[in-house]
Structure 1
Amino acid sequence: MNNFCMGRLFSALCILLIAATSCEQSRSGPTVVEGQVVERISGKPVPDAFVQLYQPGKTFSSGYSKAGDPYRTDGNGNFSFSYDAETESSYLLMGHSNKGHYTDWQEAPNLSNGRKNKDVKVKVNAPAWVRIKLIDELPKSKVWLAIAGYAGPVDNLSFPKDTIFYRFTTADFARRVTWEITDTLAIKTLRYQDYYVAGMDTVTVEIKF
């Protein structure tokens, strides 16, 4: 086969590929989704969770927004629903639960418009908790504490006393709680404790001052 024929064949294949891609992107209409919400690390199903459909905004900077109401899973994390897909709109599926499970954006599955999406696995991070136990050792002292290393903002405490409180964290990751102690002479002491906690479990961090 000469170079001219090879060139024409290559051009034809490119046109077919572009047409197929364009057709796939422009699909619309009834779309069925069936799958299960599972914990990302353990693979265990998450009962009575929710899945939420997201679609991109009309402009590049508008990001994704919710498309309709969430759908609830059954006792084994299974779900099944349908929606009318819009042309040239890509959809993501996110999962969450009332206990604190959630899907990372980068792990949200993409759905194929206008067709049946079967065996869709929606992976969610399992929740866990850090139990912070403050211990004011003798002699009693007045200090300021700044504590971080879990979900949410830094806890800034003035003249704390013996107490216990809980903070939400993401399970199955090696993490570190750090705290800075500042005394009345403005002398600062930095300490930390590494921790790893399984899903739906609690780890205790003792902070003595």
Structure 2
Amino acid sequence: MGWGLLLLGLAGACQKVDGPTLAEGQVLEMVTNKPVSNAEVVVYSQSGSGLHSGYGDAGTKVLTDDQGRFSIRFEAQKGSHYILKAFSAKGHGSHWGEEPALENGKNNRDLRLPVAAPAWVKIRIAQQPGPVPGSIHVWGPWYDEGYISTLDLRPADYGKVSYHVIDSTLPTKTVQWEVNFNGSATRYQQAFTVLPFDTAEVVVRY
């Protein structure tokens, strides 16, 4: 073994893999890049493969200031991987795979912690003269109501308006619906755009 490889091996063996760890940075909303104040920054840990499915709340958290900045310290354990996630009472949340990973036993500074903000889509059925469809099925990218994204509507529902939560960072936002007249189904769709914390209206026609 050459001296270079030997020195690299010694440096790796002496590298700190646990102990006091610092994470400092800023929580930013993904679409507008604006800082998110009063967001809860949480340390998530996982021992083993580093797969996202194995991460859990490590019990260390702190709130961001008016500029979305945070500073958090914790004791890293050898063999564990750590990431940061952030949430807010307004509905912000981290996406899996976009959280900063932390180096154990080191000062992790100038971290950028992106979060997605919610938006809403308003579904309205256009009341039209003539025959009324027996049913209308509407589906879209909303994730409220236990992640059920389909509305199964009957004539009694056609005059109602419903609001649904969506992730404002979705690149493609489309609502689709199927209108059923006596067993004959016709499909329609409408694309829409919406900014964080705003509402888009989709009018379901037949």
Change (3 A) 1:97 1:140: farther
2:151 paired residue among 152, 155, 159? 155
Change (3 A) 1:188 1:70: farther
2:199 paired residue among 198, 202, 206? 202
2:177 paired residue among 161, 176, 179? 179
SS of match in other structure, 1:79? strand
Q: Following the alignment from structure 1 to structure 2, what is the Cα–Cα distance between the partners of residues 140 and 69? A: 60
Partner of 2:130: 139
Equivalent pair of 1:135/1:163 in contact (CA under 8 Å): no
SS of match in other structure, 1:14? helix
Equivalent pair of 2:133/2:179 in contact (CA under 8 Å): no
1:169 paired residue among 143, 166, 171? 166
Partner of 2:102: 111
Amino acid at match of 1:192: Q
Change (3 A) 1:142 1:92: same
SS of match in other structure, 1:16? helix
- Structure (1 or 2) with the larger CA radius of gyration: 1
1:55 paired residue among 45, 51, 57? 45
Percentage of matched positions with identical amino acids = 32
Amino acid at match of 1:188: A
Q: What is the RMSD computed on CA atoms of the aligned residues?
A: 2.1
Change (3 A) 1:122 1:22: farther
Matched residue pairs, number? 198
2:82 paired residue among 91, 99, 120? 91
SS of match in other structure, 1:81? strand
Off by >6 Å, runs of 4+ in structure 1: 59-62
CA shift for structure 1 position 135: 2.1
Equivalent pair of 1:130/1:150 in contact (CA under 8 Å): no
Q: Does 1:28 align with 2:18?
A: yes
For structure 2, the residue ranges without an aligned partner over 5 or more in a row are none
For structure 1, the residue ranges without an aligned partner over 5 or more in a row are 1-7
Equivalent pair of 2:47/2:79 in contact (CA under 8 Å): no
TM-score by length of 2: 0.86
